[in-house]
Amino acid sequence: MKNVLIALSCVMIMGCVSDNSGMINADDDNVVDNGNGTTVNLSDYFSIDFNDLNNYENQDIPDYIQEDNSPNGNQISDEGATLGRILFYDNKMSENNSVACASCHKQAFAFGDNEIVSIGANGLTGRHSMRLINARFGDETNFFWDERANSLEAQTTMPIRDHAEMGFSGENGAPDFDDLINRLEAIEYYPELFTRAFGTEVITEARIQNALAQFIRSIQSFDSKYDEGRAVVNSQNQPFPNFTDQENLGKQLFMQPPNFDNQGVRIDGGFGCAGCHSAPEFSFASNSRNNGVIGVFGSNDIDITITRSPTLRDVIGPNGQSNGALFHDGSALTLLDVLAHYNDIETNNPDLDNRLRPGNNPQQLEMTPDQMNAVVTFLETLTGEDVYSNEKWSNPFLEN
Ligand code: HEC
Ligand code: HEC
């Protein structure tokens, strides 16, 4: 009750100020003065307090995290990432106002999708949506399962230009990217938000890319059980004191490379996962070929072009829930399915990574059920909590 009274009296005082002076409070960043006598109150649209932006720029990053693909020209700023957040959640970024980036990259599922393929503005995606956790913390600068985008910035507007996903393709009479820019220029708050992020109100594809990439790079997850353990040891290869024996065994098997006989059957050592999913970021090695998963969802075609995986952090959600199917074709529903794949790789396609093909035989890891369960419990330690609920990465629109 007391809070309500304070809130009411604030509204009344602010009302009085503007009645008396006939001017808006120039210090209030929630109010935009359009210069032509009209004002826009951002609080009518967003849950964001523009007088006290969320911190995206100086987030805590553990000192053992060394990889970072932020380019010099596009470091994260609070204003840039805030604009990126708004664009990421705005349905107006699709031709028919039906989907936003967030439709297929859902915070509750580590910014991936619980559907195997996702519904876009004009159809289904051909591949499973990728989780967007810690996209910044990898050396690899190419994005997408097949790495066809050569930077995160370049990636961000490819879904907008894709006919099925967001529809500004310019093909067959569909609107093109200039139509999107015209649309954003006419929305009463965007010119001001671009000014705050980039200095002038000009809206360009490069600025949209920079803002979206800043927001995506800000999405970080370092509050897992793994991080708690890693913080108190000198080397990631030591057993972690906060881990169970099973989790430590799983870690060791994940980290150590295997030794094979000349038939491709493992004799000893670990399972070699970290050779491609490198710890402690669990980001993806840039030199990998495909891992033998070559399916195409909903078809008998094959696809041997898959050379990237999202980080293996937050594959599973904080309540043990699945954050969606695994692999580009959604062919693994659980981590045990994933291990069954690596245990006995069945195809020997020309692009199968050499590490998975010792002596030109697809690898057989000979995992025992206990070892499989150990690797699964280890992978479950890579899940954080904050990223699923922190409002700084949530939908900022009051109505959308
Ligand atoms: C209709 C669903 C859909 C929409 C809308 C969508 N995405 Fe995606 N996103 C996907 C799918 C599917 C993939 C994987 C596609 C592939 O690799 O061929 C993906 C991949 C990505 C990746 C690559 C991640 C990595 O680690 O390589 C990024 C980044 C991304 N999307 C950002 C965005 C942004 C930004 C938007 C909005 C402008 C957006 N997406 C809109 C479905 C979607
Ligand atoms: C030679 C490199 C390589 C090695 C070694 C490797 N992987 Fe992978 N991993 C990949 C590639 C490539 C993908 C993407 C495959 C796809 O989607 O079709 C992937 C995908 C995954 C995924 C799914 C990620 C997602 O978001 O869908 C999991 C989980 C995974 N690997 C776990 C493991 C484990 C556990 C091991 C050790 C037993 C391992 N990987 C060894 C290359 C490798």
Per residue in 304-354, pLDDT (tens digit) is 999 999 999 999 999 999 999 999 999 999 999 999 999 999 888 999 999
pLDDT at residue 189 tops 60: yes
CA 159 to centroid of ligand 1, rounded, Å: 6
pTM over 0.85: yes
If one looks up domain 77-220 in CATH, what number appears? Answer: 1.10.760.10
CB of 131 within 8 A of CB of 314? yes
Per-chain mean pLDDT for the chain: 93
CA 309 to centroid of ligand 2, rounded, Å: 7
Residues of the chain with CATH 1.10.760.10: 77-220
- From 217, 219, 218, 256, select the one nearest 236 (Cα to Cα): 256
> Which of 113, 277, 297, 341 should be mutated for ligand 2, with most atoms under 8 A from CB?
277
Please report, for residues 144, 237, 307, 345, 361, the alpha-carbon distance to residue 352 in angstroms, rounded to integers and kept in the order given: 18, 28, 10, 10, 10
310 C-beta closer than 6 A to ligand 1 = yes
The ligand 2 atom at the shortest distance from the C-alpha of residue 315 is 26
- From 45, 71, 78, select the one nearest 206 (Cα to Cα): 71
Ligand nearest, relative to CA of residue 133: 1
The closest residue, in CA terms, to atom 32 on ligand 1 is 156
Question: What are the tens digits of pLDDT across the range 33-77?
Answer: 877 788 999 999 999 999 999 999 999 999 999 999 999 999 999
Rounded CA separation 117/84 (Å): 24
CB of 294 within 8 A of CB of 302? yes
Q: Which two tokens stand for residue 321?
A: 């829930």
The CA dihedral of 71, 73, 75, 78, to the nearest 10 degrees, is -150
Ligand nearest, relative to CA of residue 274: 2
pLDDT at residue 164 tops 50: yes
125 C-beta closer than 6 A to ligand 1 = yes
Task: Classify residue 391 as exposed, middle or buried by CB count within 10 Å of its CB (0-12, 13-18, 19+).
Answer: exposed
How many CB atoms lie under 10 A from the CB of residue 355? 17
> Which of 89, 98, 104 should be mutated for ligand 1, with most atoms under 8 A from CB?
104
The closest residue, in CA terms, to atom 3 on ligand 1 is 104
Ligand nearest, relative to CA of residue 100: 1
Question: What are the tens digits of pLDDT across the range 223-259?
Answer: 999 999 999 999 999 999 999 999 999 999 999 999 9
The closest residue, in CA terms, to atom 30 on ligand 1 is 156
pLDDT category at 7 given cuts 50, 70, 90 is very low
> Which of 114, 144, 291 should be mutated for ligand 2, with most atoms under 8 A from CB?
291
203 C-beta closer than 6 A to ligand 2 = no
Question: What are the tens digits of pLDDT across the range 270-299?
Answer: 999 999 999 999 999 999 999 999 999 999
- From 365, 344, 355, select the one nearest 268 (Cα to Cα): 365
Q: Residue 66: which residues within 8 A CB-CB, separation 6 or more?
A: 281
Please report, for residues 51, 85, 90, 170, 171, the alpha-carbon distance to residue 100 in angstroms, rounded to integers and kept in the order given: 26, 11, 5, 18, 20
What integer pLDDT is reported at residue 23 of this predicted model?
A: 55
What integer pLDDT is reported at residue 2 of this predicted model?
A: 39
CATH C-level class of 225-386: mainly alpha
Please report, for residues 226, 249, 253, 298, the alpha-carbon distance to residue 239 in angstroms, rounded to integers and kept in the order given: 11, 9, 12, 43
Output b/e per residue, 154-173; b: 16+ Cβ within 10 A: ebbbebbbbbbbbbbbeeee
Question: What are the tens digits of pLDDT across the range 133-163?
Answer: 999 999 999 999 999 999 999 999 999 999 9
Rounded CA separation 182/298 (Å): 37
What integer pLDDT is reported at residue 349 of this predicted model?
A: 94
Residue 263 has, within 13 A of its CA and on its CB side, a CA count of 7
Ligand nearest, relative to CA of residue 326: 2
The ligand 1 atom at the shortest distance from the C-alpha of residue 113 is 42
